[in-house]
């Protein structure tokens, strides 16, 4: 009987096995990378807007408080998006003929709303309430990051369930004094978070809510 | 089965083990058309009005679709985005107003609640009101002014109408006619009067297909004036209803009556010394009220009059001639002078009303339990006569122009008047209506009418209390109001309804503080000081004794239990609401008693041709236990041809048999069997509890002797009975108690739940299969004899078992328990194995076998509750104890750093319930209402013996039968 | 082809009757050629029945494709399922197929441990049958999901939701049990094939076939050392599969036994499901083996002895199943629980499906009693018919358990009925098509009988001393 | 090993000598004799397992069962720990009022994973220990070897055997009345 396979096929066979195993691992890794990457999560991807609004300019340079525009953040589930009126309250005086503000003026003239692309967008089956979070000492920057340093706004967190649950399980790691909630530059002062965290949690009666119905109904 | 348990039976055929029974079993789901070849029904259900918005985001770890966000340009003052606002307004059916609070999201009215400050509501609503918000968004509503069917414009119509008026005006208005429904609106009445004074030749006619002809005529006959009667059931120990469905019907004040009546029952359950009301009902067609009766005297509708006469006679002069029942009732009434009520039914002839008035005076009830005021109607006329006069004039050609404010006479006028034929003779016919209906089709002009949630107007409640109707939203289809039309006639076309109404009230209240008065009236939803003052009428003069029942087969006309007279028939929520009496949806049927059915050889599902006074109509038979023999009941409101996609062509039109001589009942009907096997769609197929006792009942007396009756030892499971340590719920512990003593079975809770939780509508085919989606179903069981059973209603929401069997078997943890003991259902995690439903002993879980939620019809997105996810295809859903309300209330309390107060969280079903039978709250708070109720001895858990530890429990039903009559 | 083919073709293919597991005059070469010959048979020489059979089966496969497409387009609503009967044909078929899938491993594993000589010429065949049956079964749990595209949520994998399957649910047990069973059955089957691949490799005429079989054989050369390890591994597989095969249908029965539903909630389910599984499994082996041995003239390798033994196993397991039914009914009455009792009243006469129960008793209990008679066992057509009847009966058993119990449970108000739609039937028939197609391909393309084990048989037959020794 | 054989360069020339038999019994006998003769590096090739052959050529192993045991233990533990970790650590839910660690419910999964891993180890281990896949092997060079998978039985004494000597070994094999003795090309 003649050999069906050449001598080399032995090593070839073994190499193939190893290769297949490696390939499998590689595919899993790639899938993970894709899923965790900003292509999927949208993290750190600045969205184009009809008006290139800069939080950096308005917050850092002009020192406008979050609540000046996001009026309902303390009272409602929805933080609120400023009506054109609010923009015009300043921009009827300053930058009155800046080209980039034309859409704003146009909207004010025509009464047709400005349209913004959502940056922080949760699936429709997730019910998030801003007011309770800010009232319990969770700062804007905890979730939204240093918006005051973003020329164009982008997400700094995935807003995935595991990310939410991470905080809901250990609020003491993220809570801050109520008066610091709207301070984007807030840094945990000494004594460090491990000490003040638990205190604030007790003081604000913060519960660690991980029930499904906390967010899904 | 134990002796002391009442005899329950399954279905007529089963009781008499006839051959039909087999057929019945095989045919439990008569409609088996596989939907794949039933394109028609599929198309229908796709276009059906369900309430849901697209579940845009897919499962968590996918790329979020790009979404735009659109702020206001000028944001309204006092408006907080993301928070609902509540406005007081009022809805009127048949002209009679009920106060409402309407929830509005981003300017969209989404949910109707009762107005606690309004005497007719006290916070309660009925199914019709709950569903009325859906009509607002109905894509089938008429949307444009049409002339001879072609799209036209308001301006053009104004010119045309003015022309018509002027031509009549030349003859001081002669030949110009207005046709409205019953009008209680002071403003509208004033406007019409103004018009009539300006044009004395013109005439104003009123007609309601299911109006209050008898009550009005009865009062007039008795007192010489059409007085309005108000009943105080909170003061009544003995109630005799002469075919009066005062608990759940279009009868003015029925919501309030249900509240008062059940409050007294509940009180008696707690306090052995309190006197529970005893209710006698004499009726032929089983009604909600009949279901609550201690003693339901089954008799043909036409025999009620004779019964009333006999009762009156017996009360005047006791004699052994009269029947045992009459004597017992009379005795009972005499024993409670001044605290009894004899109430005559809206559908009984005037003579019965006269008798009722007389008896009440005889018993000294007048002024105590029965109060009289002036009529709440602006211009009480005999509407039947009014319409007849109009038709006669139309025939004689005296009518040149007819302006119809709503209504649908072509469809619902008595058949003998041939309204349509005469209508065609008129040269100028205009119709104002929410729908372009059968009548609009024959009018030169049709003008879309504003829905009441888009309208400025006013109306009076059953006790005369006036309230403002204020709009929640600008007319979606630029609908007009009657006020607008009259303004046109008075050359004030530019004048808005708002100004018209406001000016009227300013005239009534010229004081300087009018603005405050107006604001307060708007805010409270009632106008202070408008409630009518009580009157003491003269002694009722007994007119000619009522004729005794004619022989022969009797036919009874009734408004449909779910869609009423047909005005709301295009409302899918109501269409799919099971009719309390037979749990049937999407149809009307000819009700007949078991005995008569046997006698005439027909059975449920047979299509018969009814002949009455020379007119014929085909309809399917439904054998209804408790119905009077030798009597047929047909329901009005079906067989519509121009109602809309939902209602067109379903059921049969009973108006076609209805003649002005027999508006509510007539004898001499006949029928022949045409065919069999009509496919009904019912949500409950078994009428008995077999040997089981989900529903437990006793008399008040028995209960006070043996309070433990509802918890027999073999059903009870002690908290110790457990393999595992039980979970402790320390923070909150939500629970619900449903009082079967109070529940009247009106199904308001079912629709309230549907509205609050975006529950889709599935259509007749799907219901027939057994796929209805009601989270809160109301089970209906019969008890006692086949011919005259007692009817038992049991609302069944999710039990939120502490040992929830559904959770154990879910492979993906899509249903688990919350730390507060809620049985959570997470739609976005559900993969749809349906194992949970199989393992749920209560079968309260509902499954989206198809994409039931309507993702296509834009206009319907508006009605949806933004706080509740819309379920996609292939997921399970069920009652959540309105967790969105729980979370909302908790968040508010947390923000204000205060504990939740009892009653702060109210579930939708609880809020709607007129009888306050449903109570929700925190079981960890010993003083909460629910905790107190659960401490009552008659509290029991459904299927408790399975050790599911249900959080929803029931309070056994208590009855107060008359020992002299008690059948035991 | 090797020259040896002619010399062996002389061996007559006669059924040696009920005491012999192999026809007379066979030697190592002849068995090799008779079995291997099937594989290398020229395409056009393939038995006609095989072509027709495959054609019909393939039509059904396409029916399945249509049914599944429509299912994914519209949703599970196209089936007859409703509330309360939320599980219908899908689950019935799942359990039925899994049950059929039990014969293979049982024959290969348990009979191997019991050293039953008659297992040899049917084990390969029934292992393949197991694989295909499990494949069909495996489809249903996914198809019947409301959202089948999320079926992977039943697997424990790290995800952005931090959510995992709920391991208390019998459905998750199913996932593990069925996937394990599928994997192990495949391994078992493939391991058994390796030496035969080598035979095919060495028998192959053209180099392509040589390469293909050579690759599959992985260079097997029948070394004594390899055989030593091979037999150890094979024995261990058998030892592990035996409890596995018992566990799998027990777990399937937990789907019902763990639920509280009257008619499901029974401790006797695991044993009687397993017995039922073997019952239906053997029925299916017979249903397939009898025609195949006829078409390929393998009567001398699959002899009356095999058929009779399987018939006896059917009779035995059938009696266990009968005992199961009896106990169920007895307990329902003896428990005194009204729900439990009513479940059986409903099952036997009150409900809409009373007749299915009696047909099932007829198929599973009454008719198989004929097998007591040796004459019936000796008649191939009779055994074939009974096997068919049992297949039907076992399907009905699952229908009665799943559907009838669901139609009427605790609260009478929510009782209902279940009416299968054309799509239920299409899906069911479709999977039968898949099963048969795969089976036909297998018996054409691979040695349907374990050749090297047949050689052992030849060897033992040659020396009776060894036959009963070891 | 003896230097002279290496010097004579036979290693390069042959893999070994192979004797072919008709029946298992003569092969068995031959193997025993060869071992008695002092040969150690040999192997026998048969179309089906032949009892005692491994002993005859002096081959013993117990690695397969050891591996399978380890596999089983690993699988079982893994299965249980998975359930426990999921329900107690990863995302604790209250399910049907059961304790977080409802261990009785984890038995099936534990068992199934045990079987799964054990079975996989059994086969993968067996193949690995056998050095498969190994498509090329010197014995395939023997023309008659095709029948090793059919109806012939071979004994191969390998040239690596210390006692191997082309001539001597050939004569020794000849005495065993094989059908034929052939040199195996390396």
C192 close to C144: Cβ distance less than 8 angstroms: no
State CA C88 to chain mean position distance: 21
Q: Which residues contact A162 (CB under 8 A, 6 or more apart)?
A: C160, C161, C162
Dmax over Cα atoms in chain A, in whole Å?
97
pLDDT above 90 covers what percent of chain A?
A: 53
Contacts of D140 in chain A (CB under 8 A): 1-4
Answer whether A162 sits within 8 Å of C218, measured CB to CB: no
Q: Which residues contact B931 (CB under 8 A, 6 or more apart)?
A: B735, B921, B922, B923, B925
Does residue C162 surpass a pLDDT of 60? yes
How does pLDDT run across B728-749, given as a tens digit for each residue? 998 899 999 999 999 999 999 9
Which of A107, A123, A129 is the closest to B73 by Cβ?
A: A107
Question: What is the least distance, in Å, from the CA of A196 to any CA of chain D?
Answer: 26
Which of D93, D109, D149 is the closest to C199 by Cβ?
A: D149
Contacts of C163 in chain A (CB under 8 A): 161
CA dist D80 and D82 (Å) reads 5
CA dist A184 and A59 (Å) reads 9
Confirm or reject contact between D145 and chain A (CB < 8 A): yes
B884 close to B868: Cβ distance less than 8 angstroms: yes
* pLDDT on residue B36: 32
Q: What is the mean pLDDT of the segment spanning B859-871?
A: 91
* pLDDT on residue B870: 92
Contacts of A80 in chain B (CB under 8 A): 80-82
* pLDDT on residue B391: 93
Q: Which of A39, A211, A214 to mutate to test the interface with B (most CBs of B within 10 A)?
A: A211
Question: What letter does residue B296 receive in the DSSP assignment?
Answer: E
The chains found to touch B (3+ Cβ pairs under 8 angstroms) are A, C, D
Question: What is the least distance, in Å, from the CA of B804 to any CA of chain A?
Answer: 16
Q: What is the mean pLDDT of the segment spanning B178-202?
A: 93
| Structure tokens, A138 | 């969770």
pLDDT band at A99 (very low <50, low <70, confident <90, very high): confident
Kindly report the backbone phi and psi dihedral angles of residue B48, in degrees, each rounded to the nearest multiple of 5, phi listed first: -65, 160
Contacts of B688 in chain C (CB under 8 A): 412
* pLDDT on residue B242: 94
Does residue B7 surpass a pLDDT of 50? no
What does the DSSP assignment read for B297-316?
Answer: EE--GGGHHHHHHHHHHHHH
Q: What is the mean pLDDT of the segment spanning B467-478?
A: 90
How does pLDDT run across B539-578, given as a tens digit for each residue? 888 766 666 667 889 999 999 999 999 999 999 999 999 9
Does residue B671 surpass a pLDDT of 50? yes
Give Rg (Cα) of chain B: 28
Answer whether B833 sits within 8 Å of C147, measured CB to CB: no
Closest CA to B408 of B204, B640, B145: B640
CA dist C151 and A72 (Å) reads 41
How does pLDDT run across D114-150, given as a tens digit for each residue? 999 999 999 999 999 999 899 999 999 888 898 888 8
Question: What is the least distance, in Å, from the CA of C459 to any CA of chain A?
Answer: 25
| Domain ranges across chain A | 12-39, 55-80+117-214, 82-115
* pLDDT on residue B408: 93
Q: What is the mean pLDDT of the segment spanning A180-194?
A: 85
Contacts of B72 in chain A (CB under 8 A): 83-85, 113
* pLDDT on residue B546: 62
Confirm or reject contact between A165 and chain C (CB < 8 A): yes
Answer whether D96 sits within 8 Å of B805, measured CB to CB: yes
Is the sign of the CA dihedral C329, C331, C332, C333 positive or negative? positive
Place of tokens 């018009």: B195
Q: Which residues contact B951 (CB under 8 A, 6 or more apart)?
A: B733, B734, B735, B736, B799, B800, B801, B802, B821, B923
- Identify the closest residue of chain B to D97 by CA–CA distance: B803
Which of C165, C170, C258 is the closest to B812 by Cβ?
A: C165
Question: What is the least distance, in Å, from the CA of C172 to any CA of chain D?
Answer: 8
End-to-end Cα spacing for chain C: 36
Chain mean pLDDT for chain B: 88
Place of tokens 């000028």: B74
Closest CA to D18 of D137, D136, D132, D144: D144
Chain mean pLDDT for chain A: 90
Does residue D168 surpass a pLDDT of 80? yes
Answer whether B818 sits within 8 Å of A212, measured CB to CB: yes
Q: What is the mean pLDDT of the segment spanning B824-852?
A: 94
How does pLDDT run across B76-106, given as a tens digit for each residue? 777 788 888 899 999 998 889 999 999 998 8
| Domain ranges across chain B | 2-18+685-717+731-959, 85-136, 146-211+379-524, 228-373, 554-682
Q: Per residue, what are the HEC states of B789-847?
A: CEEEEEEECCCCCCCCHHHHHCCCCCEEECCCCCEEECHHHCCCCCHHHHHCCCCCCEE
Q: How many residues in chain A?
A: 217
| Structure tokens, B54 | 């697209």
| Structure tokens, D126 | 């067996």
Q: Per residue, what are the HEC states of C191-253?
A: HHHHHHHHHHHHHCCCHHHHHHHHHHHCCCCCEHHHHHHHHHHHHHHHHHHHHHHHHHHHHHH
B637 close to B565: Cβ distance less than 8 angstroms: yes
Asked whether the ipTM of the predicted complex exceeds the cut of 0.85, the reply is yes
Does residue D109 surpass a pLDDT of 90? yes
Answer whether B824 sits within 8 Å of A211, measured CB to CB: yes
Contacts of C218 in chain A (CB under 8 A): 13
* The CATH number of the domain covering residues in B146-211+379-524: 3.40.50.740
Contacts of B58 in chain A (CB under 8 A): 123
Give Rg (Cα) of chain C: 23
CA dist D137 and D80 (Å) reads 44
Q: What is the mean pLDDT of the segment spanning B816-838?
A: 94
Contacts of C230 in chain D (CB under 8 A): 49, 126, 130
CATH superfamily, domain B228-373, is Dimethylsulfoxide Reductase, domain 2 (3.40.228.10)
Does residue B43 surpass a pLDDT of 70? no
CA dist B959 and B741 (Å) reads 8
Q: Are strands B665-667 and B554-559 parallel, antiparallel or unpaired?
A: antiparallel
CA dist B867 and B338 (Å) reads 50
Answer whether A1 sits within 8 Å of C163, measured CB to CB: no
Answer whether B803 sits within 8 Å of D97, measured CB to CB: yes
Confirm or reject contact between B721 and chain D (CB < 8 A): no
Confirm or reject contact between A43 and chain C (CB < 8 A): no
Contacts of D146 in chain A (CB under 8 A): 1
Report B:820-859 residues touching A (Cβ under 8 A). 820, 822, 824, 826-829
| Domain B2-18+685-717+731-959 fold | Alpha-Beta Plaits (3.30.70)
Question: What is the least distance, in Å, from the CA of C161 to any CA of chain A?
Answer: 5
* pLDDT on residue D5: 42
Contacts of D140 in chain C (CB under 8 A): 221
B230 close to B253: Cβ distance less than 8 angstroms: yes
Answer whether B817 sits within 8 Å of D95, measured CB to CB: yes
- Report helix, strand or coil for B203: strand
| Structure tokens, C148 | 């089948």
How does pLDDT run across C215-245, given as a tens digit for each residue? 999 999 999 999 999 999 999 999 999 999 9
CA dist B941 and B803 (Å) reads 13
Answer whether B54 sits within 8 Å of A124, measured CB to CB: yes
Question: What is the least distance, in Å, from the CA of B48 to any CA of chain A?
Answer: 23
- The b/e string for B710-741 (b: 16+ C-beta within 10 A; e otherwise) is bbeeebeeeeeeeeeeebebeebbbbbbbbbb
Of A164-178, B49-63, C32-46, give the lowest mean pLDDT range: B49-63
Which of A4, A17, A165 is the closest to D135 by Cβ?
A: A4
- Identify the closest residue of chain A to C159 by CA–CA distance: A162
Does residue B721 surpass a pLDDT of 90? no
User: Do B146-211+379-524 and B554-682 show the same overall fold?
Assistant: no
Confirm or reject contact between B837 and chain C (CB < 8 A): yes
Confirm or reject contact between D184 and chain A (CB < 8 A): no
For chain B, counts of helices (H) and of strands (E): 30, 40
What domains lie within chain C, and their CATH numbers?
Answer: 28-466 (1.20.1630.10)
Confirm or reject contact between D95 and chain B (CB < 8 A): yes
B422 close to B200: Cβ distance less than 8 angstroms: no
What domains lie within chain D, and their CATH numbers?
Answer: 2-59+138-184 (3.30.70), 63-129 (no CATH)
Q: Which residues contact D15 (CB under 8 A, 6 or more apart)?
A: D138, D139, D141, D156, D158, D159, D184, D185, D186
* pLDDT on residue B966: 67
- Identify the closest residue of chain C to D150 by CA–CA distance: C29
Confirm or reject contact between D90 and chain A (CB < 8 A): no
Report D:116-135 residues touching A (Cβ under 8 A). 133-135
Confirm or reject contact between D96 and chain B (CB < 8 A): yes
B137 close to B479: Cβ distance less than 8 angstroms: no
| Structure tokens, B669 | 């009907």
CA dist B775 and A82 (Å) reads 39
Q: Which of A3, A18, A166 to mutate to test the interface with D (most CBs of D within 10 A)?
A: A3
* In this structure, CATH architecture of domain B554-682: Beta Barrel (2.40)
How does pLDDT run across B435-466, given as a tens digit for each residue? 999 999 999 999 999 999 999 999 999 999 99
How does pLDDT run across A127-153, given as a tens digit for each residue? 999 999 999 999 999 999 999 999 999
Q: Which of B59, B64, B821, B893 to mutate to test the interface with A (most CBs of A within 10 A)?
A: B64
- Identify the closest residue of chain C to B10 by CA–CA distance: C412
Question: What is the least distance, in Å, from the CA of B695 to any CA of chain C?
Answer: 10
C40 close to C62: Cβ distance less than 8 angstroms: no
Contacts of D111 in chain C (CB under 8 A): 243, 247
Q: Which of B82, B756, B812, B907 to mutate to test the interface with A (most CBs of A within 10 A)?
A: B82
| Exposed/middle/buried for residue A28 (C-beta within 10 Å: 0-12, 13-18, 19+) | exposed
- Report helix, strand or coil for C345: helix
How does pLDDT run across D38-94, given as a tens digit for each residue? 898 899 999 999 989 999 888 888 899 999 999 999 999 999 999 999 999 999 999
Closest CA to B28 of B3, B10, B7: B10
- Identify the closest residue of chain B to A160 by CA–CA distance: B60
Q: What is the mean pLDDT of the segment spanning B143-154?
A: 91
- Identify the closest residue of chain D to C33 by CA–CA distance: D150
State CA C302 to chain mean position distance: 18
pLDDT band at C424 (very low <50, low <70, confident <90, very high): very high
């Amino acid at each position: 009987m003649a050999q069906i396979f050449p001598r080399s096929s032995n090593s070839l066979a073994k190499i193939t096995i190893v290769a297949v195993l490696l390939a499998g691992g590689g595919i899993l890794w790639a899938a993970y990378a894709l899923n965790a990457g900003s292509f999927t999560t949208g993290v750190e991807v600045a969205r184009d807007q009809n008006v290139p609004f800069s939080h950096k300019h308005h917050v850092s340079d002009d020192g406008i408080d979050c609540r000046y525009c996001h009026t309902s953040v303390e009272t409602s589930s929805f933080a609120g998006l400023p009506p054109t009126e609010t923009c015009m309250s300043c921009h009827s005086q300053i930058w009155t003929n800046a080209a980039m503000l034309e859409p704003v003026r146009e909207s004010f003239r025509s009464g047709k709303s400005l349209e913004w692309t959502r940056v922080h967008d949760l699936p429709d089956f997730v019910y998030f309430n801003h007011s309770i979070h800010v009232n319990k000492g969770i700062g804007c920057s905890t979730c939204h990051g240093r918006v005051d340093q973003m020329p164009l706004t982008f997400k700094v967190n995935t807003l995935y369930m595991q990310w939410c649950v991470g905080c809901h399980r250990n609020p003491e790691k993220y809570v801050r004094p109520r008066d610091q909630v709207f301070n984007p530059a807030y840094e945990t002062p000494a004594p460090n978070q491990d000490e003040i965290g638990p205190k604030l949690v007790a003081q604000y009666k913060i519960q660690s809510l991980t029930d499904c119905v906390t967010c899904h109904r | 089965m134990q002796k002391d348990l009442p005899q329950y039976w399954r279905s007529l055929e089963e009781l008499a083990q006839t051959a039909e029974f087999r057929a019945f079993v095989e045919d439990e789901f008569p409609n088996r058309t596989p939907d794949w070849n039933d394109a028609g029904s599929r198309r229908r259900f796709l276009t059906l009005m369900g309430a849901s918005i697209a579940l845009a985001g897919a499962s968590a770890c996918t790329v979020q679709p790009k979404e735009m966000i659109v702020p206001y340009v000028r944001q309204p003052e006092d408006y907080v985005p993301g928070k609902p606002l509540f406005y007081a307004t009022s809805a009127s059916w048949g002209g009679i107003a009920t106060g409402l609070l309407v929830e509005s999201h981003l300017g969209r009215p989404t949910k109707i609640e009762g107005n606690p400050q309004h005497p007719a509501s006290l916070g309660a609503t009925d199914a019709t009101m709950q569903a009325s918000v859906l009509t607002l968004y109905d894509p089938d509503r008429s949307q444009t002014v049409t002339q001879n069917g072609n799209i036209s414009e308001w301006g053009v119509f104004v010119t045309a109408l003015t022309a018509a008026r002027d031509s009549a005006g030349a003859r001081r208005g002669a030949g110009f006619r207005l046709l409205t429904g019953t009008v209680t609106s002071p403003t509208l009445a004033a406007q019409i009067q103004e018009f009539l004074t300006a044009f004395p030749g013109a005439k104003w006619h009123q007609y309601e297909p299911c109006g209050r002809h008898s009550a009005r005529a009865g009062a007039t006959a008795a007192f010489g004036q059409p007085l309005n009667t108000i009943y105080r059931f909170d003061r009544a120990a003995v109630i005799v209803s002469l075919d009066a469905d005062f608990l759940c019907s279009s009868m003015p004040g029925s919501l309030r009556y249900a509240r008062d009546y059940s409050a007294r029952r509940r009180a008696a359950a707690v306090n052995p010394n309190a006197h529970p009301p005893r209710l006698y009902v004499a009726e032929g067609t089983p009604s909600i009220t009949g279901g609550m009766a201690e003693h339901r005297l089954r008799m043909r509708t036409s025999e009620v009059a004779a019964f009333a006469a006999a009762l009156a006679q017996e009360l005047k002069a006791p004699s052994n001639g009269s029947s045992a029942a009459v004597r017992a009732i009379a005795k009972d009434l005499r024993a409670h002078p001044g605290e009894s009520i004899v109430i005559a039914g809206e559908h009984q002839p005037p003579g019965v009303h006269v008798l009722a008035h007389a008896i009440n005076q005889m018993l000294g009830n007048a002024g105590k339990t029965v109060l009289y005021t002036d009529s709440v109607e602006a211009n009480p006329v005999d509407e039947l006569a009014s319409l007849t006069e109009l038709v006669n004039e139309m025939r004689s050609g005296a009518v040149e122009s007819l302006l119809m404010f709503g209504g649908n006479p072509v469809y619902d006028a008595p058949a003998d008047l041939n309204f349509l034929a005469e209508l065609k003779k008129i040269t100028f016919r205009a119709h104002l209506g929410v729908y372009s209906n059968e009548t609009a089709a024959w009018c030169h002009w049709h003008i879309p009418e504003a829905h009441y949630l888009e309208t400025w107007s006013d109306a009076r409640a059953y006790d005369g209390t006036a309230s403002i109707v204020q709009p929640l939203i600008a007319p979606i289809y630029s609908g007009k109001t009657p006020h607008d039309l009259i303004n046109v006639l008075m050359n004030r076309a530019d004048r808005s309804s708002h100004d018209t109404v406001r000016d009227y009230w300013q005239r009534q209240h010229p004081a300087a503080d009018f603005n405050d008065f107006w604001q307060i009236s708007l805010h409270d939803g009632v106008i202070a000081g408008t409630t009518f003052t009580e009157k003491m009428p003269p002694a009722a003069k007994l007119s000619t004794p009522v004729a005794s029942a004619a022989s022969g087969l009797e036919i009874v006309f009734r408004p449909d239990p779910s869609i009423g007279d047909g005005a709301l028939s295009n409302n899918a929520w109501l269409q799919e609401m099971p009719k309390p009496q037979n749990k049937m949806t999407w149809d009307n049927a000819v009700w007949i008693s078991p005995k008569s059915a046997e006698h005439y050889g027909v059975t449920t599902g047979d299509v018969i041709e009814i002949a009455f006074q020379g007119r014929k109509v085909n309809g399917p038979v439904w054998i209804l236990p408790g119905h009077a023999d030798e009597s047929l009941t047909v329901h009005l409101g079906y067989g519509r041809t121009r109602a809309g996609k939902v209602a067109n062509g379903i059921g049969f039109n009973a108006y076609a048999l209805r003649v002005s001589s027999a508006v509510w009942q007539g004898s001499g009907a006949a029928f022949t069997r045409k065919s069999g096997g009509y496919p009904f769609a019912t949500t409950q197929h078994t009428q008995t509890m077999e040997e089981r006792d989900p529903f437990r009942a006793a008399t008040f007396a028995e209960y006070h002797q043996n309070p433990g009756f509802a918890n027999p030892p073999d059903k009870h499971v002690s908290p110790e009975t457990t393999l595992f340590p039980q979970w402790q719920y320390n923070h909150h512990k939500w629970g619900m108690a449903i009082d079967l003593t109070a529940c009247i079975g009106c199904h308001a809770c079912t629709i309230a739940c549907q509205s609050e939780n975006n529950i889709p509508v599935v259509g007749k085919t799907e219901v027939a299969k057994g796929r209805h989606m009601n989270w809160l179903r109301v089970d209906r069981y019969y008890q006692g004899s086949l011919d005259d059973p007692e009817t038992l209603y049991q609302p069944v929401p999710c039990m939120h078992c502490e040992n929830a069997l559904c959770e154990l078997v879910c492979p993906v943890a899509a249903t688990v328990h919350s730390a507060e003991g809620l049985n959570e259902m997470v739609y976005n995690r559900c993969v749809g194995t349906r194992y949970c439903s199989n393992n749920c002993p209560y079968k309260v879980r509902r499954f989206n076998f198809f994409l039931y939620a309507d993702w296509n019809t834009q206009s319907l997105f508006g009605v949806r509750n933004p706080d509740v996810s819309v379920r996609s295809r292939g997921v399970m859903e069920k009652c959540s104890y309105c967790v969105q309300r729980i979370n909302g209330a908790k968040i508010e309390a947390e923000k204000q750093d205060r504990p939740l107060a009892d009653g702060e969280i109210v579930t939708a079903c609880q809020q709607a319930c007129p009888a306050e039978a449903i109570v929700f709250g925190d079981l960890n708070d010993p003083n909460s209402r629910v905790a107190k109720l659960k401490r009552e001895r008659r509290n029991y858990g459904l299927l408790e013996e399975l050790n599911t530890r249900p959080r929803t429990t029931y309070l056994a039903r208590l009855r107060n039968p008359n020992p002299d009559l008690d059948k035991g | 082809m090797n020259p040896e083919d002619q010399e062996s073709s002389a061996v007559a293919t006669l059924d040696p009757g009920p005491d012999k597991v192999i026809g007379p005059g066979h030697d190592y070469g002849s068995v090799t050629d008779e079995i291997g010959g099937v594989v290398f048979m020229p395409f056009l020489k393939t038995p006609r029945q095989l072509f027709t059979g495959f054609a019909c089966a393939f039509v059904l496969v396409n029916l399945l494709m249509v049914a599944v497409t429509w299912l994914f387009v519209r949703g599970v609503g196209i089936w007859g399922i409703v509330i309360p009967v939320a599980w219908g044909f899908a689950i019935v078929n799942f359990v039925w197929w899994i049950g059929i899938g039990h014969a293979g491993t049982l024959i290969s594993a348990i009979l191997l441990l019991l050293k039953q000589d008659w297992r040899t010429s049917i084990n390969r065949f029934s292992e393949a049958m197991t694989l295909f049956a499990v494949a069909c079964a495996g489809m249903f749990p996914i198809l019947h999901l409301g959202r089948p595209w999320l079926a992977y949520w039943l697997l424990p994998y790290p995800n952005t939701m931090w959510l995992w399957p709920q391991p208390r649910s019998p459905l998750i047990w199913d996932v593990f049990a069925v996937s394990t069973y599928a994997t192990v059955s495949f391994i078992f089957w493939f391991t058994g094939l390796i030496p035969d691949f080598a035979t095919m490799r060495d028998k192959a005429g053209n180099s392509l076939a040589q390469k293909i079989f050579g690759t599959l054989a992985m260079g097997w050369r029948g070394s004594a050392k390899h055989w030593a390890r091979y037999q150890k591994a094979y024995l261990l597989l058998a030892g592990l599969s035996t409890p596995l095969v018992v566990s799998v249908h027990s777990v399937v029965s937990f789907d019902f036994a763990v639920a509280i539903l009257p008619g499901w909630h029974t401790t006797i389910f695991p044993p009687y499901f397993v017995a039922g599984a073997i019952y239906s499994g053997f029925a299916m082996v017979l249903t397939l083996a009898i025609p195949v041995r006829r078409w390929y003239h393998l009567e001398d390798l699959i002899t009356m002895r095999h058929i009779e033994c399987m018939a006896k196993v059917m009779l035995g397991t059938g009696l266990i199943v009968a005992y199961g039914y009896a106990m169920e009914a007895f307990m329902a009455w003896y428990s005194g629980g009204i729900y439990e009792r009513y479940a059986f009243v409903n099952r036997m006469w009150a409900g809409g499906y009373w007749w299915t129960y009696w047909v099932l008793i007829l198929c599973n209990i009454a008719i198989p009693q004929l097998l007591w008679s040796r004459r019936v066992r000796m008649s191939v057509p009779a055994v074939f018919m009974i096997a068919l009847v049992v297949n039907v009966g076992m399907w009905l058993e699952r229908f009665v358990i799943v559907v009838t119990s669901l139609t009427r449970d605790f609260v009478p108000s929510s009782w209902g009925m279940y009416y299968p739609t054309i799509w239920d039937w299409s899906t069911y028939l479709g999977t039968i098509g898949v099963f048969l197609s795969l089976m036909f391909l297998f018996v054409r393309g691979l040695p349907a009988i374990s050749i090297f084990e047949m050689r052992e048989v030849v060897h033992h037959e040659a020396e009776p001393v060894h036959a009963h020794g070891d | 090993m003896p230097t002279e054989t290496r010097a004579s360069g036979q290693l390069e020339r042959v893999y070994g000598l192979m004797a072919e038999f008709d029946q298992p019994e003569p092969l068995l006998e031959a193997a025993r004799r060869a071992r008695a003769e002092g040969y150690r590096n040999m192997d026998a090739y048969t179309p089906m397992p032949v009892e005692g052959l491994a002993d005859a050529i002096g081959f013993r192993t117990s690695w397969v069962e050891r591996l399978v045991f380890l596999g089983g233990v690993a699988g079982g533990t893994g299965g249980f720990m998975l359930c426990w970790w999921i329900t107690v650590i990863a995302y604790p839910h209250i399910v049907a009022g059961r304790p977080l660690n409802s261990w009785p419910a984890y038995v099936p999964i534990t068992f199934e994973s045990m079987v799964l891993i054990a079975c996989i180890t059994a086969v993968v281990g067996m193949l690995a220990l056998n050095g498969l896949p190994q498509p090329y092997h010197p014995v395939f060079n023997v023309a008659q070897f095709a029948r090793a998978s059919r109806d012939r039985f071979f004994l191969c004494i390998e040239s690596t055997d210390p006692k191997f000597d082309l001539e001597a070994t050939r004569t020794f094999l000849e005495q065993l009345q094989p059908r034929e003795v052939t040199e195996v090309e390396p």
